[in-house]
Amino acid sequence: DAGVIQSPRHEVTEMGQEVTLRCKPISGHDYLFWYRQTMMRGLELLIYFNNNVPIDDSGMPEDRFSAKMPNASFSTLKIQPSEPRDSAVYFCASSLDNNQPQHFGDGTRLSIL
Amino acid sequence: SQKIEQNSEALNIQEGKTATLTCNYTNYSPAYLQWYRQDPGRGPVFLLLIRENEKEKRKERLKVTFDTTLKQSLFHITASQPADSATYLCARMDSSYKLIFGSGTRLLVRP
C-alpha cells in the first residue's frame, strides 16, 4: 500500500519567495495533519483537517502560512513570503480518525536562504 | 498546559541488552500514549499505543508500560540490535484532541 506521499523532498529557495509543499494522504484516511520539526522545538502540529475541512489551525505560526485541502487526496501548505526562520522539515500525516495512529510521509526539508 | 518530556540525552547500549526509554507527562493522564520511531531523513513510524487502563503492552521485542500514578510511560526494547538505533518519540493527546510529541530520545545500539 502506498503511504503518505510528500513533495518535494527538498526545497531550497531565497527569502521572500513563495513555497508550496504538497501531500497525498493514504486513501480512506479522514484526517490529515501538517507538522513542522526543528531541533529547537521538536515536532509541532501546525494544522489538521477532517474530511477536507480545517479543524484547528492554532499552530500555524503566522499569516504567511496557509493550508488547503481541496479534495480527499491532496493538501498543500503554502508559505508566502518565506523567511529564513521557516527553515525546517515539514511533515504531513494522515489517520483513519483522530484516535488512531498517524502515518507520516518522509517530509520536505525546506531551506530558506 | 499538558507537557510531555523525554530524556534528551542519547542512550548508548551494547547489543543484546535491554534499552529502556522514559516518557513523563504533566497534568491529567491522557486516555492513551503512543510511541513512534524516527530514522534520520524519514518520518515517524507508529510502534505502539497503550491505553490508561492497560498497565503493559507488548509487540515482539517491544514492551510499553503506563503508570498513571507516576505519570510515566516506559518503552523497552529487549535483545537490542544495531538496527534498533533510531530516535523514539512518545506522544499524548491534549485537551484539544491534538497529538503532542515529546522531543524524542536517540538510541544507539553498539555491535
Mean pLDDT of chain B: 93
Decide if A104 and B44 are in contact by the 8 Å CB cutoff. Answer: yes
- Sequence-ordered list of residues with C-beta below 8 angstroms from that of A70, at least 6 positions apart, any chain: A52
CB < 8 Å to A58, chain B: 96
Q: Which of A28-32, B91-95, B98-102 shows the highest mean pLDDT? A: A28-32
Q: Give the span between the Cα atoms of B15 and A57, in whole angstroms.
A: 43
Residue B1: what pLDDT? 64
Q: Give the span between the Cα atoms of A86 and B72, in whole angstroms.
A: 33
Residue B53 has pLDDT above 80, yes or no: yes
More confident position, A91 or B26: A91
Residue B29: what pLDDT? 78
DSSP A85: G
- Sequence-ordered list of residues with C-beta below 8 angstroms from that of A93, at least 6 positions apart, any chain: A4, A32, A33, A35, A102, A103, A104, A105, B43
* Chain segment A75-105, per-residue pLDDT in tens: 999 999 999 999 999 999 999 998 899 999 9
CB < 8 Å to B45, chain A: 104
Q: Which residues of B touch A (CB under 8 A)?
A: 31-32, 34, 41-46, 49, 89, 93, 96-104
Mean local confidence (pLDDT), B27-43: 91
- Closest chain B residue to the Cα of A10, Cα to Cα: B41
Mean local confidence (pLDDT), A12-33: 97
Residue B95: what pLDDT? 79
